Structure 1
């Protein structure tokens, strides 16, 4: 084979390879994406990394880890983040016009109200010190559980803490109870064997669903092409997670650099609709109903006074079409 023929073959192979590549590097849209370092807060980005979904759908992500949803919403508003993950406890922020929801992640059952050994019921928390990460799903579950028991947030001594501090405070007996979620519950249980699980999200389903979601900044929401690309990544990652639980836990643990066991305990604590189901539920208004219910709960809790209807903060048309 002469040199010219060899060069032609190599050139042809390069062109064929390029034709198979989902997107050329220079065509990728850069996006800044936030996540939370637990299973449901990071499995989507972990799977997208592992399965090559970002480039497949035309995106080049810069990933940043956060401890909760409200901090991510602040970053969205400050212009330092484009997309983020929030649990149901932070939904009051999109409902207040601070961001837009683009996709549902899961219907979670990971939240718990827990008590020290000897505290057998929500009523036993009256007058006691209860730790919560303010504005999160743990905060919301505590309020729901208190209301169900005929109590209010004023009947306990709320101590605002971040999740890792709650682990230390509960384990050392500095607080009597906590509104917190897996995998932190499992970590605490390893230190306080006889802790009591006093309430769970599942106690309130189906009257109240607890959807975690992906959100976009108000500015980036106007870029429909990029939102659709992000949704394409989310949909494929969530379907992979739904069909490959064990692998998804392994991928997420490797991504976070943590042991598998806590994530394996957290992973089953949710309902996981497929992307096709979520498209249908978005189109028929069911998802809007979930979000409106949560937003109205925050009115009852005094967190917000005049929430937007979900039709104005959930971009359902960009998900279902």
Structure 2
């Protein structure tokens, strides 16, 4: 069974307008992002302990179609139980806090967006599966700011959760506009703070991802938003994979549980690809995020089937995706150098779990 940890997010801005998105019933579907960077994690998840006769895995997820969908399908369709595990699902809004929780031993496996990949490259987690390729990260300026294109960001204030894929798209856009990050007043904010600051007009622009982009649009109206760009503007040079990562200590001590988890996740992948409408409904009920927002998010990402992940692992394509991302991390100072991706990608558990 999926056990939703009784955690409370410590968010600095408790705006009522974000309650639909941020007060979620055990979220972590995938912010992507999110894939994300500065959002506060839940305080302390339930300990990793057997529930009945099955071992429990503490899994970090985000409230989106990447992170939450596998969790709810795995529970509702019985895939976790079939694989011989229970999942204690813990909600996060971004990736870096998940890695902090893994370092403390509170989280065993986590969904992360592209922006937190640099932490895996630093040896703080092993990538064990690829969920999707995305373009849901966007940079929006306010209409009143007068910003119309990337170069107009010079001297302006931009809110962004640091260490996220939103920051990556922002940096690529600045480069495209002939600017450096130092040319812009970049303010590190958590997810809720970035959305609230944009809506309140306290920043000139924001770098954020779906479904929070839809929340902004609801609050201010599309006519008052100026979209500067998203991930797709930088394809094919840069691909933005969202991933499952495992705590290295947990992997070393309990590799069999990692393989069991991936077996169940592979089943959720098959199911969601064949039943997208149902997946949206299930995820909406689980996270309390509106179906409309989740559908828009699904339109902005490409779920990968198990064969494509296996092929990418085996033919080196995945290695290229992650190493290209590392180049961005080197540019923004998150990494000193590009680390060979085979140092932080572990493919055997997935390939064995899926019989590839």
TM-score of the superposed pair, with normalisation by structure 2: 0.81
Mapped contact 1:28–1:60 kept (Cα < 8 A): yes
Aligned counterparts of 2:227 and 2:276: Cα–Cα separation in 1: 25
Aligned counterparts of 1:243 and 1:154: Cα–Cα separation in 2: 46
SS at match of 1:145: helix
| Aligned twin of 1:62 | 88
Matches within 5 A, 1:1-321: 27-117=53-143, 118-193=146-221, 194=223, 195-222=225-252, 223-321=254-352
Mapped contact 2:150–2:176 kept (Cα < 8 A): no
Aligned counterparts of 2:72 and 2:292: Cα–Cα separation in 1: 17
Report the Cα offset of residue 198 of structure 1.
0.6
Report the Cα offset of residue 247 of structure 1.
0.8
Mapped contact 1:283–1:317 kept (Cα < 8 A): no
Aligned counterparts of 1:263 and 1:184: Cα–Cα separation in 2: 10
Instruction: Detail structure 1 runs of 4+ shifted over 6 Å in the superposition.
Output: none
Give me the CA root mean square deviation.
1.5
Structure 2's unaligned 5+ residue stretches are 1-50
Mapped contact 2:130–2:304 kept (Cα < 8 A): no
Aligned counterparts of 1:36 and 1:150: Cα–Cα separation in 2: 34
Report the Cα offset of residue 38 of structure 1.
2.2
SS at match of 1:101: strand
Mapped contact 2:63–2:289 kept (Cα < 8 A): no
Aligned counterparts of 2:265 and 2:322: Cα–Cα separation in 1: 19
TM-score of the superposed pair, with normalisation by structure 1: 0.89
Aligned counterparts of 1:242 and 1:294: Cα–Cα separation in 2: 26
Q: Which has the larger radius of gyration?
A: 1
Aligned counterparts of 2:88 and 2:270: Cα–Cα separation in 1: 23
Aligned counterparts of 1:306 and 1:264: Cα–Cα separation in 2: 37
Report the Cα offset of residue 84 of structure 1.
0.5
Q: Whose helix proportion is higher, 1 or 2?
A: 1
The C-alpha deviation readout for 1:92-149, integer Å capped at 9, x for no partner, is 0000011111100100111001111142111111110100001011111101111122
Number of residue pairs the alignment of both structures matches: 298
More displaced stretch, 216-225 vs 171-180: 216-225
More displaced stretch, 299-308 vs 208-217: 299-308
Aligned counterparts of 2:86 and 2:265: Cα–Cα separation in 1: 14
